[in-house]
Amino acid sequence: MHSVFIIDNPLMDYVVHEGAAWLERFSAEPGSMRNVGHDRFLEVVSSPQGYKILPGGSGANTARALAILLREDTLGEDTPGEDTPGGSRLDTVGRVAYSGAVGDDEPGKRFILALESLGIDLGLAVKPGTTGVSAVVVTPDHETTMFTCVGASRDFGPEDLRRDFLRDSRFLYSTGFVWDAERTTSALEAAVEEARAGG
Q: pLDDT, tens digit, for every residue of 111-135? A: 999 999 999 999 999 999 999 999 9
3-state helix, strand, coil in the chain (%, to 5): 40, 30, 30
**For residue 85, pLDDT beyond 70:** no
User: Which of 163, 167, 165, 160 is closest to 183 using CA atoms?
Assistant: 160
- Whole-structure pTM value: 0.86
> Could you give the residue ranges of the DSSP H alpha helices within the chain?
20-24, 38-44, 58-70, 89-93, 106-116, 163-167, 182-197
Total residue length of the chain:
199
Residue 79: pLDDT over 70: no
Q: Which three-class secondary structure state does DSSP give residue 47?
A: coil
Residue-level pLDDT at 71: 78
Q: Exposed e or buried b for every residue in 171-186, given b needs 16+ CB within 10 A?
A: ebbbbebbeebebbee
Dihedral of alpha carbons 30, 34, 40, 42, sign: positive
Q: Report pLDDT digits (tens) over 140-180.
A: 999 999 999 999 999 999 999 999 999 999 999 999 888 98
d(CA 6, CA 30): 29
Distance between CA atoms of 98 and 108, rounded to whole angstroms?
A: 14
Pairwise CA distance, residues 19 & 180, whole Å: 30
* Nearby residues of 149 by Cβ (< 8 Å), 6 or more positions away: 35, 36, 37, 38, 40, 41, 130, 132, 133, 134
Inform me whether the pLDDT recorded for 87 exceeds 70: no
Burial (CB count within 10 angstroms: exposed 0-12, middle 13-18, buried 19+), residue 88:
middle
Give the chain's mean pLDDT: 90
Distance CA 181, CA 132 (A): 14
